[in-house]
Every structure is written in structure tokens, then in C-alpha cells.
Amino acid sequence: MTTNGGPANAPVPRVAVVTGGSGGIGRASALRLAADGMAVLVHFAGNKERAQRTVDAITSAGGKAVAVSADITDEAAVEALFERAEQEFGGVDVVVHTAGIMLLAPLAEMSIADFDRMHRTNVRGTFLVCAQAARRLRPGGALITFSTSVTRLQLPGYAGYAASKGAVEAMTLILARELRGRDITVNAVAPGPTATPLFLQGKPPEVIDRIAGMAPMQRLGEPEDIAESVAFLAGPARWVNGQVLFTNGGAA
């Protein structure tokens, strides 16, 4: 455990749980929320060293953070993850669920094993994280899930992945209505092509260049671009609720 405290009379910060917070969009979101003054639980699945680097970056800047491992497809592990946030920081105000996997193949060629693995992580994992967030978020809180702009782009090879994210959108929009009267917002961020290891893996340069050219700005998004939307929904955007915020530079 790594934490960094402040003066005894310092105001208690808001607390964020960021799943998949060790790299890519999750890391950028954790760093951005910490810069906005939140204490952050950085969730990771397997790369402890990378998660610790995220924590170290936050604490070296004067923030509070702790790295915690959990299998987001395991109900008990997800419950324990949230309990750890409450033990460390006293409660949970923001949940950013970036953890997920992307396996690509034409629908007729995708193995059922890959399809099931992806849906177990992306759909079951989101369901479990959302359930804990709904039970534990304090008034004034925000839950931010992750969809994808591919649900609108209809790119060949993305059918299985887009289907899993369509389920995420459905859960997100319905949960926003189910939390009526709680003063908790529930939204999804839908990034376009973003320069993360998850996106870049296995793609030849010509494919990456072609996809980058889809946006009017003629580049891929950066994780920090997506973190801007996360910070908006986690902080000032109290009148944005039950929405999918497409963050793609105009690519869709």
C-alpha cells in the first residue's frame, strides 16, 4: 500500500475508484482526477509495477493513491475492491470503469471462446462494478462507464467488441434512471480510436494511419483527451446524466 497524507486539518478529498488504472485511458484518468484533488484507488488486474508507477506519479505530486489488484469478473473481488477504497479513504464518490479487453475478428471467424472471454470481461465486469457503485456512491457522486465510438462506426472486425459495448451502454442508461433521487450521475464515455496499447496491438502502420485519418483532426486520440471527458463528468457536469459522451475528435 502506498498513500500520502496531508495536514491533519486538511479537507477530506473526494474519492475515485478507477478500474484499469495502471495504463492507457485508465492511467490518464487516474492522474487527471488526482490533479483535480481526488484521492484515487488505482485498480489493476496483473501489472503491479505499472499500477505502482501510477500511484507514485500521484503521490509525488502531493496526492493520495493506492494500487489494488482485483479480477473484475469475480463478484467477491469487486466487492472487496470497493471495501478497500472505503477503508483507505472513507468512502467512494467517483467510479471510472475503464477496464476491458478488445478482441477483433470478423463475426463469422471469431471463436466462441474469444467472444465469451470478451463479454465476460466487458459485460459481466461492468455489471459487477456498476452494482457496487450503485450501492456505495455517496450523494453528489458520479459513475462513468466506457463504451466505444465503434458502436456507430460499424467497422468490419469489431462486431463482437461493439456488441459488448452496446450492452455497457444499455446498463449505463438504465442505471441512471434507477438511481433517481440519489444525486448520482451515470454516464458512458465512448472514445474513438485512441493511441493506447489496447488499440495499437496487432495493427500494421498503414491501418493505424488510415484509422487516424477518419477524424477531421487527422490523428488518433490520446489518453489525455479521453481523461478530459472523464474529469468533466466526474466534476462539473452535474446536469449531464444518462448519456453516452462520444469523445472521438469528430470521427463518428
Catalytic residue selected from 82, 158, 161, 246:
161
Residue 251 backbone class (left: φ over 0; alpha: ψ -120 to 50; beta: rest): alpha
| Residue 227, C-alpha cell as written in the block | 481523461
Torsion of CA 173, 176, 180, 181, to 10 degrees: -160
Task: Identify which of 169, 165, 115, 129 has the alpha carbon closest to the alpha carbon of residue 21.
Answer: 129
In our burial notation (b when 16+ CB lie closer than 10 A, e otherwise), range 180-199 reads eeeebbbbbbbbbbbebeeb
Active-site residue, 161 included: yes
Residues serving a catalytic function are 161
